[in-house]
Amino acid sequence: MKRVFVNGYGSIGSRIAQFLADDKDIEVVGVGKYSPDDKVADAISRGFKVYVPKNKMDNFKNFRVAGSIEDAISNCDLVIDASPGGVGYTNKKTLYEPANARAIFQGGEKITGEKSVAQFIFNSRVNYEKAFDKQFIMQGSCNVTGMGRIIQPLKEKYGKRIKRLDATLLRRWADLEDSKTEIKDSIEWTRKPHHDDDVKSYMGADTPLFIRVFKVPTRQMHVHLMDIRFDGPAPSVSEITDLYKNEYGVATLYGVKGTKDIRDYAESIKFSFKDTNMIHIHADLTEVQDDVVKITYSDDQTGIVVPENHLLMQAMLFKRPRDDAFRHTEELFHMEEKKRALENHFRN
Contact positions vs ligand NAP (CB under 6 A) = 7-13, 32-35, 39, 82-85, 87, 91, 106-109, 141-142, 175, 301-302, 305
Distance separating alpha carbons of residues 249 and 237, to the nearest angstrom: 20
Collect all residues with Cβ–Cβ distance below 8 Å to 262 and sequence separation of at least 6. 220, 221, 253, 256, 276, 280, 298, 300, 342, 346
Q: How many C-beta atoms lie closer than 10 Å to residue 263's C-beta?
A: 20
Q: Which is nearer to ligand NAP, 145 or 286 (CB)?
A: 145
Interhelix angle 322-333/335-345, rounded to 10 degrees, is 60
Q: Smallest gap, in angstroms, from Cβ of residue 116 to ligand NAP?
A: 14
Q: Smallest gap, in angstroms, from Cβ of residue 90 to ligand NAP?
A: 6
Q: How many C-beta atoms lie closer than 10 Å to residue 86's C-beta?
A: 12
Q: Smallest gap, in angstroms, from Cβ of residue 94 to ligand NAP?
A: 9
Q: Smallest gap, in angstroms, from Cβ of residue 299 to ligand NAP?
A: 9
Q: Smallest gap, in angstroms, from Cβ of residue 55 to ligand NAP?
A: 12
Q: Which is nearer to ligand NAP, 13 or 307 (CB)?
A: 13
Q: Smallest gap, in angstroms, from Cβ of residue 34 to ligand NAP?
A: 4
SS (H, E, C) 180-219: CCCCCCCCEECCCCCHHHHHHHHHCCCCCEEEEEEEECCC
Distance separating alpha carbons of residues 89 and 226, to the nearest angstrom: 32
Q: Which is nearer to ligand NAP, 114 or 133 (CB)?
A: 114
Asked whether the beta carbons of 202 and 137 are under 8 A apart, the reply is: no
Nearest residue to the partner ligand NAP, using Cβ: 10
Q: Which is nearer to ligand NAP, 65 or 251 (CB)?
A: 65
Q: Smallest gap, in angstroms, from Cβ of residue 347 to ligand NAP?
A: 28
Q: Which is nearer to ligand NAP, 30 or 32 (CB)?
A: 32
Q: Which is nearer to ligand NAP, 91 or 123 (CB)?
A: 91
Q: Which is nearer to ligand NAP, 8 or 307 (CB)?
A: 8
CA angle 143, 149, 151 (to 5 degrees): 95
Return the DSSP state at 59: G
Coil, strand, or helix at residue 24? coil
Collect all residues with Cβ–Cβ distance below 8 Å to 326 and sequence separation of at least 6. 124, 248, 311
